[in-house]
Structure 1
């Protein structure tokens, strides 16, 4: 329990540190700000995938917990005992004799699933919270770079920009991924009335690429 509390504190601290670092960077860079070009989507496709993973994990645990409770209801006085790993391990010790070996296997399998859930679900929640925070921040043009999706990009890190042919208010930045060794894109929606001004500013720092659909 002690180490689990430390684990949760570390996860929460990483989220708080992200917010603190981002807010501090925004504050110190205000004198370099040229123009804010709007916010990203509230939630991205990746964020939806994370939510789906969390819900799936919770559903699997709930299904297995129901199965364990039905099979061993005489050993449980409260459904909350199903979430108590120490109590589950106590039952496993009780099921160590040969007659109850099948019970031991079933309880051990559930205990392992529950343990993984306690570790992975908080981690997924923190990652989702960090992604949501980054994606909710303003996209800002600075003198020495841009804030995109919560990350500060220096001009030399961006390969160029273009406007979507299908949606003339969608701004697309490209950059070379060192990890994937290919060109990737960051898409940002802007206001129609700001398009001309944004294009004028960005063309001073970045190469204008061909429009795409």
Structure 2
């Protein structure tokens, strides 16, 4: 059943008011905490706005047909002005819907970019921590190597000092023996004869070895 002008105009004003309310809810989605994927509320609001804008186009078309069917000049001029105004508001609302939609898209791109930047920063920090841990492990290994080398050097110094102490002790014992030997009468003469006998035995042994060697070469 076709509606009259007054009913159609009331319907148009009601749809305009509903559109503004939906715009208020739709624009509130633009925030730094916007999810990377459209939520169910966002999809529902967008569908509702598109449907109501389509209804308004249908209502305005009905207003236009109703106006064409009337013949009154004065009333038609006022109604034509109202019709033009409804068309202008619909055009503005279409632009506003596209603007809010673009803002939501831009906010989502910024949120995605920030998320990627955070991920890159987290990866960088993670890599930095791994590098720091690796360097710390290397430093610990070097410190352990240095400590081991210091321990070995300390043991070597201790052994060297022990040898020095033993050498000093033997030298001291030798001096005491020599001193004690010098205090015994005739001991130097005995030692000298022993040394002379050792030298003589060494010469005799060398001569015998030489004669044996020559005999082996001769009879060969």
Common topology (TM > 0.5): no
Bigger share in strand? 1
Bigger share in helix? 2
Q: TM-score, normalised by structure 2?
A: 0.28
Larger Rg: 2
Q: TM-score, normalised by structure 1?
A: 0.28
